[in-house]
A and B are shown apart, each in its own frame.
Chain A
Amino acid sequence: MALKFTEDHEWVLLEGNVATIGVSNYAQEQLGDVVFVEVPEVGSDLSKGDELAVVESVKAASEVYSPVSGAVVAVNGELEDAPTLVNEDPNGGGWFAKIEVSDPTEIDGLMDEDAYKTYIEGLD
């Protein structure tokens, strides 16, 4: 499976019915140095568009919204001691949470990597 992206710069990786969610490299560059990430509680139910995480950079706090609906089955505990993983490895080690998706079709409408690249080029 490949990463899919939202217009709000989250990415989703669906494996089976579990979606791993993080923010894009573009997003981490915009955020600047990340110093704290508030992740959701395991077990909480989120609807698409609900607040999934709060990323605090030196500058400001930014909300991250869930691109999918479902139950949080895991969160990235490493971010507690190493929030800079979001800057260093946004598409990998900097993931926030894993959600067991209740409606996999929600992912169909998201952008693939090429479409997202074109999208962010249009933003600058």
Chain B
Amino acid sequence: MSDPSATEKTILYDLHVELGAKMVPFAGYDMPVQYPDGILKEHLATRESAGLFDVSHMGQVVITGDSPAAAIEALIPGDIQALEAGDMRYSFLTNEKGGILDDLIVTRREHDLFVVVNAACKEQDIKLLTDGLAGKATVTELTDRALIALQGPKAVAILSSMAPEVASMSFMSYQEVTIDGAPCFVTRSGYTGEDGYEISIPNEQAVQLTRKLLDHEGVSAVGLGARDSLRLEAGLCLYGHDLTENTSPISAGLIWAISKRRREEGGFPGAAVIQAEIANKPKMKRVGLVPEGRAPAREHTEIADLDGNIIGEVTSGGFSPSLQMPIAMGYVPLAFAAVGTDINLIVRGKARPAKVVKMPFVEQRYYRD
């Protein structure tokens, strides 16, 4: 993990300050948690129109070699060899216990892999990848590029007004696109549950391009606060919270990210543990939770059965701006994981009734062609 006290700045730092953002230390970076409109408005603007996020603190990595797709499969359970050039996949680095060391997105390009990893884990990930691929592939961090995300129902109209070719991109695909003179890596992806794009831009053109996007009507600058509530509504895991080195992907409900071939062949760290969990079911399962009333149940809130036994813990929880009610996710034993199960959440010492519900809390609206 990066030193949380050291604060680096992304290339967009001055722009955030100019826009009136409240800056906070996050994963070793000084990042905007919210702008003057506040988290609620930023959140709803993303769901209704378009939100623009600085995610330049995340790691952008390129892996080159004779066969990087085959090589990386020794470290992650994703089926990277099955990807055509221009396709991308959500996966995770696993440890020998079958736990998750980080989640990441791997894009297969014509001659290499483009990988985006979490900010807090990037040093560890780059070392893992470098050591794990030694002799087979070369791992290079791209420190000369910013990364922004444009998310929401109007994202396609806004970005395609500057680069028409992005309109026809399919969900989870990659294209190199020149936008306003900047050679960008564009993916149709994101982590808000909305249609949208992530755009990697050379540092020297990042501020100008970000300003142009913000000039469009309907684009709001969005900070970490709304980023968190958006991904929670979408039922998506946050590394370090819903996923840890002690969480298996099967418990987390991420079996869909491991293809049939990889489940059968294994060949990634912890494969035997994960295969056994697939065969025998995991002990714990990640579930959606809705507390009664309006009091949010936040991370580390204890989950109890109706007899008062502590059975699990909330890993992400807060208030849903879209639904105007509290929502949470956490891990419970399989016997309590069925939708409709009544449990209690221990908020400030008091047991408050809650129910296991289906996720996502807010319907995902990814682009499907």
Contacts and interface: CB of A to CB of B under 8 A. Distances in A.
Nearest to B294: A36
Contacts of B229: 58
A59 B294 contact: no
Nearest to A38: B295
B368 interface: no
Q: How large is the interface on A (under 10, 10 to 19, 20 to 34, 35 or more residues)?
A: 10 to 19
B40 interface: yes
Given A32-B38, A33-B38, A56 B295 contact: yes
Nearest to A51: B348
The B interface is mostly helix, strand or loop, or mixed, namely mixed
A93 to B, nearest CB: 18
A61 B296 contact: yes
Nearest to A84: B40
A80 interface: yes
B40 A61 contact: no
Given A32-B225, A36-B319, A56 B296 contact: yes
Given A58-B225, A58-B229, A32 B348 contact: no
Contacts of B225: 32, 58-59
A61 B298 contact: yes
- Report, nearest first, the 3 A-B pairs whose CB atoms are least far apart: A35-B319, A33-B40, A36-B294
11 contacts: A32-B38, A33-B40, A33-B321, A36-B319, A56-B295, A56-B319, A58-B318, A58-B319, A59-B33, A59-B225, A61-B298
Interface of B: 33-34, 38-40, 43, 225, 229, 294-296, 298, 318-319, 321, 326, 348
